[in-house]
Chains A and B, each alone.
Chain A
């Protein structure tokens, strides 16, 4: 913080003034990124492949590089450069700033489903329905396919999906003689038993995570966000949201969830040494287990996500990304050729081999895919469970057209319930208010 500043005191404070401003001076300006006029048609795609050229792809998914290598081999006159511009929000920030500056915008970008509407509504992405995506109805499972559509347009091709399951550490459950929970009520019971038997062991970790919270509300049948163009409704008082808040409140009140932030060293360690007994997340997790939690190899298994109703099968999506084409690119046709290869054609198999979970219905139904035995999960055929979960995702969920921002203030609001006496319902209400405020400031018509 404190900077060494020239001795003249007044000038010093003037400098401080300038430094504060420099922070903001790099934003703003022309976001008139051209909209989605005419991106071309399928013939243009073939012609662009013929002609060749250069593509810049922003993606943090590691398998994209393999796909790019293959694509270059098939089309020697195309040069694909894969850049990791950060994971999730970091990349969106970079992308938003590049779009605002009108400079350095990639031709293809990995964008998670929850973030896609925000870019689409700002006209930052190319509508690819004319380029060939309009004919892909039925190629992808419904959840991801709905997620890439906004109004009349299609703004990306689904790259993977995150149907939720419960990963659990068998050793912990065997040691304490606890049954694998099938409902959230049983889950809370298991949490109590385990934590009482050993105060160092927790059922799971949670310090307040927007993606997780919205996913569980989704599974519970809540529909807090309703979006119709620029008319937005935010309401966390519906039945699903309340069900989640009340149930999860018991875990938070009982201090039954480990106060460990996800994706930290502590977290990886906790997954490996049995501190964290379960993890409820998307089907894209196995790759992370294999690379990040070697100590847990053979101990972890996959089970269906615990249910809100006994005997239910409802699930939700958590994470999952699409590949999209920013409208600032001059090479949309060639970019679409890459999208098609990575998401529909042979690139899909390459990514499956790399540990990704596909969203193409054909692969999800293939015997080879379903019968794959995961060594990490003790030979379990985990894909069967993932595919089953993908089929049971509750329909009708939508994210906000400014979800990236909403998620960034989650810990300011709902997060407070994890460190104070304020109940989760109150936290959700605060989140709702702050979200509505932001939406109105951004020109949306927001109602409760």
Chain B
């Protein structure tokens, strides 16, 4: 950040700074703190304090019988051996591996189509594809939940109208795919917008130069557009990684419709929630959250490193 330094410092001659430096730094640091003080106070209160408190909580165990006691790293040892936690993690990793590529690919195709300039009614498509993002996730999940219903829902209607027997989207085998479908529907527009805005800042002169050289549309995409938006693709991937690991709303809402398909440890977040709010295991829940936070950070960082290396 820039600070208001006194004019002599700028105008001063070479030999002087050594002598003057201490005083100048002190003035600087004080005025600097004055500027960032309010931010730091809020930052400490709303970001650092909850993290510190959660870490503090994770070293204790509060029992119905026996009360609260310091247990050191026992909670962490328990998480590492907790098959429910790992099954939930594997589930979101599977979700990540399938849903995110599909979603980003569709978003990319749509963005390229919009950017090609050959689409009639471009703004109509742009807005309607983006619209699901404006629907709150809770409403979207409820809406899809009703459509998935095999008795009174859309699936049920199709079954009775055509006399067929579609598999139940809310059954344990299909529930993850059904949730993936909801999430894809919700976030294609959002990712499309990231790609589209990255595409629209590519200088037109590049396109024109390529066309003069006789490049096909396909070549234009692979040689100019895709390399130019790699940064945006990395950002979108990282958001999606974080989003997948935090999967909560959709399964939490659908749980009431399909209690046997969505367990209380379906995703790591749902598990932390159940531990905390049904099980009163705040300490263990904090531990699960911290471990999950670290895993998310590591993976997001790995994606970023990989993406950036390609770019350079």
Which A residues contact B (CB, under 8 angstroms)? Answer: 1-3, 5, 7, 9-10, 12-25, 27-28, 31-32, 89, 93, 96-97, 100, 118, 121-122, 207-208, 230, 260-261, 264-266, 269, 401-402, 404-405, 408-409, 411-412, 415-416, 418-420, 438, 441-444
Contact = CB atoms under 8 A, between A and B. Distances in A.
23 contacts: A1-B249, A2-B187, A7-B235, A9-B304, A14-B297, A17-B51, A20-B289, A21-B290, A23-B273, A23-B285, A25-B53, A27-B285, A28-B286, A93-B278, A121-B64, A230-B65, A261-B259, A265-B152, A266-B151, A411-B263, A416-B260, A419-B260, A444-B64
A132 to B, nearest CB: 28
Interface of B: 47, 50-51, 53-54, 57, 60, 62-68, 137, 149, 151-152, 171-172, 183, 186-187, 190, 234-235, 238-240, 242-250, 256-257, 259-261, 263-265, 269, 272-274, 276-286, 289-290, 292-294, 296-297, 300-301, 304
A216 to B, nearest CB: 18
A260 to B, nearest CB: 7
B160 to A, nearest CB: 10
Leading 8 A-B pairs by shortest Cβ distance:
A2-B243, A443-B65, A27-B282, A17-B293, A443-B63, A443-B66, A13-B300, A415-B260
A151 to B, nearest CB: 13
Contact of B62 (A19, A22, A28): A28
Given A1-B250, A13-B300, A16-B297, A21 B286 contact: yes
A419 B172 contact: yes
Contacts of B277: 27, 93, 97
Contact of B65 (A10, A13, A444): A444
Contact of A1 (B66, B243, B296): B243
A415 B50 CA distance: 36
A265 B151 CA distance: 12
Contacts of A93: 277-278
Contacts of A18: 47, 50-51, 293
B300 A443 contact: no
Contacts of A21: 50-51, 54, 286, 289-290, 293
A13 B248 CA distance: 17
A418 B260 contact: yes
Nearest to B267: A1
Nearest to A402: B64
A123 B207 CA distance: 74
Contacts of A12: 238-239, 242, 300
A25 B242 contact: no
A12 B92 CA distance: 19
Contacts of B243: 1-3
Contacts of A416: 172, 260
Contacts of B272: 20, 23-24
A266 B247 contact: no
A394 to B, nearest CB: 28
Contacts of B152: 265-266, 269
A1 to B, nearest CB: 5
Contacts of A261: 256-257, 259
A282 B66 CA distance: 36
Contacts of B242: 2-3, 5, 12-13, 16
A2 B63 contact: no
Contacts of B250: 1
Contact of A96 (B50, B190, B280, B293): B280
Given A261-B257, A441-B281, A24 B47 contact: no
Nearest to A21: B54
Contacts of A10: 301, 304
A20 B264 contact: no
B248 A1 contact: yes
Contacts of A24: 54, 57, 272, 276, 282, 285-286, 289
Given A13-B296, A415-B259, A444-B64, A266 B149 contact: yes
B171 A28 contact: no
A14 B301 CA distance: 10
Contacts of A208: 259-260
A405 B284 CA distance: 15
A207 B62 CA distance: 33
Contacts of A13: 238, 242, 296-297, 300-301
Given A1-B246, A2-B243, A122 B278 contact: no
Contact of B246 (A16, A28, A266, A444): A16
Given A12-B239, A14-B297, A96-B280, A207 B64 contact: no
Contacts of B67: 31-32
A19 B278 contact: no
Point out which of B137, B244, B280, B283 has the most chain A C-beta atoms below 10 A from its C-beta. B280
A20 B292 CA distance: 8
A5 B239 contact: yes
A20 B246 contact: yes
B303 to A, nearest CB: 9
B299 to A, nearest CB: 9
A293 to B, nearest CB: 16
Nearest to A404: B278
Contacts of A438: 279
A222 to B, nearest CB: 23
A25 B62 contact: no
Contact of B293 (A5, A16, A121): A16
Contacts of B64: 118, 121-122, 401-402, 442-444
A199 to B, nearest CB: 12
B239 A20 contact: no
Contacts of B284: 441
Nearest to A25: B50
Contacts of B54: 21, 24-25
